[in-house]
Chain A
Amino acid sequence: MSSPQLSGLVEAALEISRKRAETLGQLRDALERGDKEEALVLAKQLVGLSDDQESNRVDTSVHVDAGGGRPF
């Protein structure tokens, strides 16, 4: 008996896997072309970092500028 929960999960996993395989292929192409900037963007995606996301923690006491437009 097929389970819709697991079926949905399988679909999602395969879709994500396909996307990651595509990104990996693009990374390989970018490295072969010598396009380091593109390669860096794709590599960040493969390790779970979106292109404009901070990759290091910043102490709140020195993170003043980021608070400019925020409520507190």
Chain B
Amino acid sequence: MSTLMQAADDRFSIPAQKAINLRTAQSHGLEIVRTIEMADVSGAVVLQTPEMQELLRAIADPNIHGIIAKEFSRLIRPENLADFYLFQAFIDTETTLYLPEGPIDFNTFEGKLIGSFKALWAGRELSQIRERIWDTKETKRRAGKFGQSKICLPYGVDYTESRGWFYKPEAERVREAFRLLASGETSYVVLSELLGVSSPGVKVILQNPVYTGWRVIDKRRDPSPSARRHTVDGRQADRPKIKRAPDEIIRVRVIEEPLVSEEEFFRVQQIIATKRQRHWKARPDYQHRFTYNSFLTCAACGEPVQTGVMRDDYYICKGKRKFRLCSSSYMRRDVLDPKLDSLFAERLTDEPFLRSLAEEMARNYDANQGAARIVRLEAELERLDAKRNRAIDTYIEGRMDKAERDSRLDAINLEIKKVREMIERHHPPVVLSAQELSALFSPFLEWKFLLRDDKHRILSTVIPEIQVADYQVKGLYLALTAGSNNETHVGTGSSRPRA
């Protein structure tokens, strides 16, 4: 059986195949001594199954005269010539294959010819089936429809024929993950707790453009025979994904009101790329000591500046440490960090920069907060309330002990708290006050007094590139599109004149 669904179908069910095989046995005067059943196995990977291995061992028994099958494709649908080794096993053991239309003896020329031809035909049939299915799915994809199993849907996204594509209430968690990453929370572990997926899964979710309303399909399963994969018990496994050719890439707008804007999406992609490129490691359970690690490059050779511990903490050029090519000196953390603190305290408090921040804050206040977003958040709150009630009911019915109840309720209450915070964030005060502006500016004015993690969070949003060697800051670049601080500052000094 190719699938368990087929096994339940009357026409091709195992009982139906058994009945046909019994008739074949009777017509040739054979006695069936052993039956081997395989379900959820395609004819293409049947050779890898333990059942087929058992069959190969069985036909080595001289008392076994032949094998009965409903049709040739039940035995194999060869995708490559290596699959033909089964025929050699039939020849070596002098086994005959009995089909309803007649026996095939592989020890004869006619048997070899007919067997090989039938095998090739079965393989061709499989290719045609695949091509037809692929064409149908591609047509659907290009039309902005969905032609796969629900398990293939992105996190927080659903599709129905009547409604098309839409975001589910839990998609708001994805929005929150985008917001957190863009605001300097670069730990995938923290984001994975928010989304309830693995850390690598977070990156996959945040890189999916479906949250900007676009469905982009730029990969496909490798259709080549060599890409065939199977599980340990011979069942079909996923083929690896390969990039599509440029003319095969599908881009369709599927949701009109996006979850995140394209600007926000690309900003997050930039952070993800920088995180990978500069090896940002953000482990919430580890206390970091270096404030500017992963933002420094050597002004002498251009290699990244790494951190090291040799009795004390040092910043060290990779070119010196690893390749022994750079002549720059080691820089003590407790000397360089305060120097960079002074530089940033000055750069992040100049008037144009603070003005651009205030303007951005005012824009956020004026922006339409999105009625659909509020509806989704409230639906998510309702879902969590229902989940909490179900947990309480389960406890009252005696199907859960007190400890498990408390643990589940704690987890649900935490989720409810997070969703409520998200709702509150969508309802800010109507007027931007001096007190709020003061709150906005204070971290920059108090830069030297911030904890290392808070400084690092702000640095992660501006993604600075600092060129330094021998305690001299030669350049500073901030990846900001507004304000006056997005220029590369070159010079031996560590500061520039105030505006």
Q: Would you call B4 an interface residue if the criterion is a C-beta within 8 Å of the partner chain's C-beta atoms?
A: no
Q: Find chain B residues with CB under 8 A from A17 CB.
A: 439-440, 442-443
Q: Would you call B129 an interface residue if the criterion is a C-beta within 8 Å of the partner chain's C-beta atoms?
A: no
Q: How far is the CA of A56 from the CA of B441 in the complex (A)?
A: 29
With A14-B439, A20-B442 known as contacts, the answer to whether A71 contacts B458 (CB < 8 A) is no
| CB contact list, B407-451 vs A, under 8 A | 439-444, 446, 448-451
| CB contact list, A1-47 vs B, under 8 A | 2-21, 45-47
Q: Find chain B residues with CB under 8 A from A10 CB.
A: 357, 360-361, 364, 440
Q: Find chain B residues with CB under 8 A from A20 CB.
A: 442-443, 446
Q: How many residues of B contact A (CB 8 A)?
A: 46
With A2-B364, A5-B267 known as contacts, the answer to whether A48 contacts B480 (CB < 8 A) is no
Task: Determine the main DSSP class of A at the interface with B.
Answer: helix
* Minimum C-beta distance from A48 to chain B (A): 5
Q: Would you call B454 an interface residue if the criterion is a C-beta within 8 Å of the partner chain's C-beta atoms?
A: yes
Q: How far is the CA of A47 from the CA of B334 in the complex (A)?
A: 16
Considering residues A21, A48, A52, which has the most beta carbons from chain B within 10 angstroms of its beta carbon? A48
Q: How far is the CA of A2 from the CA of B182 in the complex (A)?
A: 14
- Are A5 and B462 in contact, with the CB atoms below 8 A? yes
- Interface segment, one of B137-145, B306-314, B373-381, B389-397: B306-314
Name B's A-contacting residues (CB within 8 A): 179, 182-184, 261, 263-264, 266-267, 287, 289, 309-312, 334, 356-357, 360-361, 363-364, 367, 439-444, 446, 448-452, 454, 457-458, 460-462, 479-483
> 9 nearest interchain CB pairs?
A11-B183, A8-B182, A4-B267, A6-B360, A17-B439, A67-B311, A8-B461, A12-B184, A12-B183
- Given A6-B483, A18-B439, 5 other A-B contacts at CB below 8 A? A5-B461, A9-B357, A12-B457, A16-B450, A70-B311
27 pairs of residues in contact across A and B, judged by CB atoms under 8 Å? A2-B360, A3-B263, A3-B482, A4-B263, A5-B267, A5-B480, A6-B360, A6-B483, A8-B184, A9-B183, A9-B461, A9-B462, A9-B480, A10-B360, A12-B443, A12-B460, A13-B443, A13-B458, A17-B443, A19-B454, A20-B443, A21-B439, A50-B287, A60-B311, A66-B311, A72-B310, A72-B311
